[in-house]
Chains A and B, each alone.
Chain A
C-alpha cells in the first residue's frame, strides 16, 4: 500500500472488489493492443518497404515508446485498483483514489442530488458495477468503479436514504 499521507486518520476504507483488477486489466489489454497497432503502423510500413521515407528513429520511438507506456500502466493497474476506497461516515461519504496523484474527497449526504449505478459489459460479466455520486457541483467527480453488484445496490439505497434524511437546499 502506498504511503497514505493525505488520508484522514482513523478511517477504515472499504476496498473495491479484487475482480475489478481483472476487469481493468482486460480493458487495458484491449486499448493497449489498439494503441500498439495504430502507433506501430509506420514501423511496419517502413519495414515492408511501403513507406521507406519515414524516419526510422521516429518509427522505432513510436512503437517502443507506446509499448513501454502500455506495460508501465498495466503494471500499475493492480495497485491503482487497490488504492480505490470508500468509507461511509455519519454525515458524509469519503472516497479516495490514486497512487502518484492521490485524491481524497468528502461528499456530504445532504449534498447529493442523485446516485448513478452503471454497469458495463465487462463489469456485468464479473458481477460488478460503478457507483457515481452527483452533487450540484460539476467538479464533484465522485465515482467508485468496481463495486460488487449487490454492494452497489445496497450503497445506492443507503446513500439515497441518507441523502433524503439530510437533504439541504443548494
Chain B
C-alpha cells in the first residue's frame, strides 16, 4: 500500500514533452474539456523572470554599485580601465545571456495538463521531473500572487495532496484569470462533476461564494501590538533601562540593532500576513484571502480540515480576541509566511470564531453548540469537585487530586464529546481549545507515567496529520480516560463509515450503512451560515450544509 494520491515521479508516464504533440500557451486559457494526453500547456512566458528577478537584481547591484561609486569618486572604474573594458562588458553580457537562456529553457520544459482525474506537471531541464496528482485527493488549492507577479497580473497555483507539503504541484505563473479558471476546473472535477458532452466548451463557472467575515485592519494592528512581540519589546526595554541606570552600562548598538530588527520583523509579519483577511464559503469549500504585498487565496474543500485549535494569549483576553489554526494534510507545518497558511482566523471575536467553526464543523453534534464551545474557550471548572472529575458546561476536567501537580491548569484541562467531534481544552494563561472531528481521527493513544499512575490519571492523545494542532486531553481520571479511549475508537469508526465521499458533490455510494438523510446535493439550498448561535432551530445536517449551492 502506498499513500493514496501521493504525487511523485512517475516512471511509467514515459512521454515527456519531447514526444508530446500540441502545446498550448497558458494565455489561451484553460482547457474546458479534459486534456488528452497529447495536449500540454505552458506557463506564462514572463514567469521565469518573476521567479528569478533576484538573480538579475543581484547582478545589477554588484556591477552597478561599483560603477556608481567609481563615477562618484571620479576614479576610473576598475573594470573599464585599460584593455579590460571589453572583457568586462563581454562577461556581463555572457552572464546575462546565460541567465536568460536558463530562464527560457526552464520555461520551455515546464508543461502541464489537467485530465479528468489528474494534474500533471513536467519540469526540469537536465533532471526531468514528471509529477502527477489525483484530483480527488486534493487537500487544498492556493492562488498566490507575490508582489512582482501582481504587477504583471500573474498568479501561482499551488495544488496540495496529502504529503506534508513535500510534493505540492505548483504552476507558476499563469494569468490571474486563467489561474482562477483552472482552480474552478480542478475543484469541479475533484468534486466529482464531469463535463457534460454537449457543454464541454463552456467554461466551468466559479462556484458561487459568500463572504462570511472580514478582519478590519485596525484589529490586525491591535493584535500585533498585543502579541508576544510586545512582551519581548517590554522585556528588552526594561533590561536596557536596568542596565543603563542601575549598572551604568548602556546597551551597545550591537545588541539594540538586531533586537529592533527582530521586533520590527515580528510586527511586520503579523501585519502583512493578516492584512485584509477575508473568509468566504462556497460549495467548493472555505476560501481565505489575505496579504499585503503577497496576496493569497486559499481554498480548503469540504472535509479536508483535520483539526482546529482556537487559542487566546493572555494579552488578547482584554479584547476578547482569539486565533484559529488548522491542520490540513498537505499544508504541513508551514514556515512559509510564519505560519499564516495554517491560520484559519488571525484574530477574531468569539462571534467570528463561532462562524468559522460553523464552516469547519457544519454539524456541531450538540443541541447547544454556543454553550459547549464557550465553555471550551473560556470555561473553568469550580474548585469543589468530586474525585471523578466534574462536568463544567459539558466538559469533564481533571480530578481534584492532581491539583498539586498542575495547580494552575487542573480546572481547565478537560474534554467534551459531541456527536461529531472531540473537544480538548487546556491552558490557563494561554487558553487553547482543540476540535477534532471524529471521522478525521487517525489513531489514538493513552499515556500514563509514574506520577500519573500514582494519581490515577492519564493523558489521551489524538493523532492527526502534520500541522500546528496537537490535540491532547491532559490528566483525566484513568477510568474515564480508558472509557473515552474505547468509545472514541468506536465513534471514529462509526463516523468514518458515515463520512462524506472524497468527491464531495458526488452522491454517496448505495452500500453505506446509513443512507443520507439530506436532500440531493443539486437541490440543496446553500446554508453556509449555520451559525453557532445561542438559540438554534436544530443543527443542520452534514449533507445540507456541506452541499450547499447550485454548482
Q: Which residues of A contact B (CB under 8 A)?
A: 3, 5-9, 91-92, 100-108, 110-115, 135-140, 142, 160, 163-164, 166-170
Q: Are B449 and A114 in contact (CB under 8 A)?
A: no
Candidate in B3, B443, B492, B499 with the most chain A CB atoms within 10 angstroms: B443
Q: Are B463 and A135 in contact (CB under 8 A)?
A: yes
In the bound assembly, the distance between CA atoms of A106 and B86 in angstroms comes to 73
- Note all chain B residues with C-beta closer than 8 A to A164: 1
- Note all chain A residues with C-beta closer than 8 A to B442: 108, 111, 135-137, 139-140
Q: Are A163 and B1 in contact (CB under 8 A)?
A: yes
Q: Are B502 and A5 in contact (CB under 8 A)?
A: no
Q: Are A6 and B448 in contact (CB under 8 A)?
A: yes
Q: Are A6 and B478 in contact (CB under 8 A)?
A: yes
A59 CB to nearest chain B CB (Å): 31
Q: Is the interface of A mostly helix, strand, loop or mixed?
A: loop
Which residue from A104, A114, A170 sits with its C-beta under 8 Å from B446?
Answer: A104
Q: Are B461 and A8 in contact (CB under 8 A)?
A: no
In the bound assembly, the distance between CA atoms of A149 and B339 in angstroms comes to 44
- Note all chain A residues with C-beta closer than 8 A to B2: 113-114
In the bound assembly, the distance between CA atoms of A163 and B4 in angstroms comes to 12
Kindly identify, within residues 268 to 314 of chain B, every residue whose CB is under 8 Å from any CB belonging to chain A: 303-304, 306
Query: Which one of B22-30, B53-61, B450-458 is at the A interface?
Result: B450-458
- Note all chain B residues with C-beta closer than 8 A to A101: 447-450
Which residue from B1, B162, B306, B448 sits with its C-beta under 8 Å from A102?
Answer: B448
Q: Is B431 an interface residue (CB 8 A)?
A: no
In the bound assembly, the distance between CA atoms of A29 and B316 in angstroms comes to 54
In the bound assembly, the distance between CA atoms of A103 and B496 in angstroms comes to 24
- Note all chain A residues with C-beta closer than 8 A to B1: 112-115, 160, 163-164
Q: Are B444 and A105 in contact (CB under 8 A)?
A: yes
Specify the chain B residue showing the minimal Cβ separation from A164. Answer: B1
In the bound assembly, the distance between CA atoms of A137 and B2 in angstroms comes to 14
Kindly identify, within residues 418 to 454 of chain B, every residue whose CB is under 8 Å from any CB belonging to chain A: 439-450, 453
Q: Are B465 and A170 in contact (CB under 8 A)?
A: yes
Query: Which one of B145-153, B192-200, B479-487 is at the A interface?
Result: B479-487
Q: Are B440 and A103 in contact (CB under 8 A)?
A: no
Specify the chain B residue showing the minimal Cβ separation from A3. Answer: B453
Q: Are A100 and B449 in contact (CB under 8 A)?
A: yes
A–B complex contacts, Cβ < 8 Å, 22 sampled:
A5-B478, A6-B448, A6-B482, A101-B447, A104-B445, A104-B485, A105-B444, A105-B446, A106-B443, A108-B492, A110-B493, A135-B443, A136-B442, A137-B442, A138-B164, A139-B461, A160-B1, A164-B1, A169-B4, A170-B306, A170-B329, A170-B440
Which residue from B137, B440, B448, B489 sits with its C-beta under 8 Å from A92?
Answer: B489
Specify the chain B residue showing the minimal Cβ separation from A167. Answer: B4
Q: Are B489 and A91 in contact (CB under 8 A)?
A: yes
Interface string of B459-488 (1 = CB under 8 A from A): 001011110001000000010011001100
Which residue from A100, A106, A107, A170 sits with its C-beta under 8 Å from B162?
Answer: A170
In the bound assembly, the distance between CA atoms of A160 and B444 in angstroms comes to 20
- Note all chain A residues with C-beta closer than 8 A to B493: 91-92, 108, 110
Candidate in A103, A112, A164, A169 with the most chain B CB atoms within 10 angstroms: A169
A56 CB to nearest chain B CB (Å): 34
B65 CB to nearest chain A CB (Å): 46
Which residue from A7, A105, A107, A136 sits with its C-beta under 8 Å from B3?
Answer: A136
In the bound assembly, the distance between CA atoms of A162 and B204 in angstroms comes to 39
Candidate in A9, A166, A168 with the most chain B CB atoms within 10 angstroms: A168
In the bound assembly, the distance between CA atoms of A72 and B263 in angstroms comes to 49
Q: Is B139 an interface residue (CB 8 A)?
A: yes
In the bound assembly, the distance between CA atoms of A138 and B164 in angstroms comes to 10
- Note all chain B residues with C-beta closer than 8 A to A5: 448, 453, 456, 458, 478
In the bound assembly, the distance between CA atoms of A133 and B109 in angstroms comes to 39
Q: Are B443 and A169 in contact (CB under 8 A)?
A: no
Kindly identify, within residues 324 to 359 of chain B, every residue whose CB is under 8 Å from any CB belonging to chain A: 329
Q: Are B3 and A113 in contact (CB under 8 A)?
A: yes
Q: Which 8 pairs across A and B sit closest by C-beta, in order of nearness?
A: A137-B463, A137-B442, A105-B445, A139-B463, A135-B442, A107-B443, A114-B1, A104-B446
- Note all chain B residues with C-beta closer than 8 A to A100: 449-450
Q: Are B478 and A105 in contact (CB under 8 A)?
A: no
- Note all chain A residues with C-beta closer than 8 A to B466: 137-138
Q: Are B489 and A108 in contact (CB under 8 A)?
A: yes
Seed contacts A107-B443, A170-B139; 14 additional CB < 8 Å A-B pairs: A6-B448, A8-B485, A101-B447, A103-B448, A104-B485, A105-B444, A106-B443, A106-B485, A108-B443, A110-B493, A114-B2, A138-B466, A140-B443, A164-B1
- Note all chain A residues with C-beta closer than 8 A to B486: 8
If A6-B458, A164-B1, A170-B329 touch, does A103 touch B482 (CB 8 Å cutoff)?
A: no
Specify the chain B residue showing the minimal Cβ separation from A169. Answer: B502
In the bound assembly, the distance between CA atoms of A9 and B518 in angstroms comes to 38
- Note all chain B residues with C-beta closer than 8 A to A114: 1-3
- Note all chain A residues with C-beta closer than 8 A to B463: 135, 137, 139-140
In the bound assembly, the distance between CA atoms of A102 and B460 in angstroms comes to 12
Specify the chain B residue showing the minimal Cβ separation from A99. Answer: B450
In the bound assembly, the distance between CA atoms of A98 and B155 in angstroms comes to 52
Specify the chain B residue showing the minimal Cβ separation from A109. Answer: B493
In the bound assembly, the distance between CA atoms of A108 and B306 in angstroms comes to 16
- Note all chain A residues with C-beta closer than 8 A to B440: 170
In the bound assembly, the distance between CA atoms of A13 and B137 in angstroms comes to 36
- Note all chain A residues with C-beta closer than 8 A to B306: 170
In the bound assembly, the distance between CA atoms of A26 and B198 in angstroms comes to 72
Specify the chain B residue showing the minimal Cβ separation from A133. Answer: B443
A86 CB to nearest chain B CB (Å): 13
In the bound assembly, the distance between CA atoms of A79 and B308 in angstroms comes to 39
- Note all chain B residues with C-beta closer than 8 A to A9: 482
